[in-house]
Structure 1
Amino acid sequence: MNLPSPHWQRSDVTPNANGEIKVRFRATTPHNPSFWKFYLSKPGFDGATQTLAWSDLELVQEVGNIDFIKDAEGHRYYEMNVAIPAERQGDAILYTRWQRDDAAGEGFYNCSDITIVRDGGPSDPSQWQSIGYYLQQGQTPAVGDSIWVRLFDESGQELVNQMFAVSADNQASWQQDLAAMLNLDYSQYMQIGLQDQQGQVVYQSGDPLVNQVYTTNANYSYSLSVQQAPDNSAPTVVKPDDITLAEGQSSVVHVHAFDDEQSTLNYSWDVPAPLTMSSEGANLTITAANVDTDTPYTITVTVSDGELSTSQSFVVTVTDTSTNPDPSYPAWQASATYVAGDKVSYNASDYEAKWWNQGEQPDQSSAWQTLSKDAGSAQWDSQRAYESGATVLYQGQQYQAKWWTQGDTPGQASVWQAL
């Protein structure tokens, strides 16, 4: 992502009247809870010739945990508004960090070359042209339904694809609320209302059916459709990886699950004796008991949305330390997946993962670094970047990073866990 080039594809973005642009991410695999941070390259940065560094970015927007949306074609995505500073226009890079806020702690990064265009629509109101009515007779959505608005230019390129969720709070006013959203977010393309003698387009709340769609081009096409609330489906649950623990060793397992219709999920765990466990939502802490020989145990998690449920199982193998004396960390497994900060034992040595990997033999791959048996934690440095699993000392307390971090103070920021 930091390769400078004048040939990266660039997209025009036009802030709305509130100075915001709408950003949408395909969620082929949703992750909740999570949070987002959006950065903009500083004025004067040239992505064609300069390598992007953290010092070239300024934070412009933070977004907490949000639910994903499913469109009419069945695609899942996250959608949010990002504020663009009023003084910014022209070429820039929008850099996005999406961070899972769970035991897995994965982070995802995206780099978008954009051109910020300041265009609020026609300066002359007479340039607005009607392309048809805003609503059709009989469009009366129920609570839980979705309204979809789409606008295409004369070549068939989609300019607007906007969803509006109908709830008990807005069912009586959805026509006006949706029109206000469109008039704000897409004022460079369209206006909803009725044109007065001065050419201004004003929404008619007394009779929604008289409102029309005005665009800057008479050849644009528009549609508004009502999508009925889908039938409830069972949660999707990703099978956790099998793990290996030494006697007395503990491990945290996170189960990744999501549901297309329900945002609240409940987790129940079936953990056989002699394993002991504690759980909090999607996270399970397992502690291995003593065994006479290496022993596999099957753990099952059931995830329910209140109506339907899905179960997945995985195997925990407890190793007998009398035959495998005092391993510091779980044995490396070729079939397991590892993220930055995971620690394993392999051929009597301990290793720490530097990034996500699978099937990379620790003593032969640069994805792993050897751990010193007597290595301690260094003092926290506000200028240093720390990967997930990194340990530091701060004011006499040891902390471990849950995900990538820089400048977040241990003891104050949720990214650090006291040890």
Structure 2
Amino acid sequence: MVQQTRLFKVSPVLTGIVMVMLAVAFSLLFAKSASAHGYIEGPASRAALCKTGANVGCGAIQYEPQSLEAKGNYPAAGPADGQIAGAGAFPELNVQTADRWTKVNLNTGANNFTWKLTAAHATKEWKYYITKPGWNPNKTLARSDFDLFCSFNDGGKRPDFSVTHSCNIPTDRTGYNVILAVWEISDTGNAFYNVIDVNLGGNNGGGATPAAPSTPANLTSSAQTTSSVSLSWSASTAASGIKNYEVYRNNTLVGTTTTTSYSDAGLTANTTYSYTVKAVDNAGTKSIASSALSVKTAGDSSAFPAWNAATAYVGGSKVTHNGVSYQAKWWTQGETPGSAGVWQAI
């Protein structure tokens, strides 16, 4: 008897299902390996201060401070000297002069460093470096400028979305220094690099320069007209007391106030503005800028004619009635804006 070999034909539908499943699996694997992001929000890093508007001219990092990612295993590998602050990808952050960046007032000794993780990732270790005594603040940052002063080994553990480390800043540092924080990822070979520009006053508990006022929080706008915006925020605190607040529109100082509210006038109708607020204490020290708030002024309703019950309107017609602008959805006559569904407020 001759044995016959039967060949099975694979269904095209089954093949398609398998391909889709493989694509999804690879997508999930890639997302897992590429989704780790984070930055230091307290004390605010150079990139975090770009996000709030305290630092300007930062480039794209102002929109994504969590993206300072490069090869890991620093200092043996990682960004090249001169590109450390920008992680080799954001050149604006590499500019280095004594007065280029907003500084955070700190004391030497014990300090907390808090990371905000937008995607937690299995972690190898956290490392903190500080510029050496006598470093040149007008030269781009290099490995030779830094000393390691604090580290934590996580051994591959996945962290929480907020991570705080307590480290002792060396007491022989004073004035302007740069702290470099490195988050080494355990399963991608990459790391995240954050620099913090600090002004060191001395040892904690030893007559150091007082810390800066707390950052104004909860910045909101309660009212907008065609030419003004009303702002309010939560009060800041400081050891010497709060003297006043500075209000910035589009990163430009527009006024001060001794209260926690401000009305900005002389604006253009139907225009979006960005606002931040800084607290100033009685010693003249300023806080970090608040988170930015975008506010749009009201549209100029005077551009549209007043509604008339005797007039026939077609879809798209615009009118004003009782101080509100409306647009007709379809043909209408005698139907009152604000009451009839044919009118839509704009």
Work out whether the TM-score is over 0.5: no
Query: TM-score scaled by structure 2?
Result: 0.31
Query: TM-score scaled by structure 1?
Result: 0.26
Q: Report the structure number with the largest CA radius of gyration.
A: 2
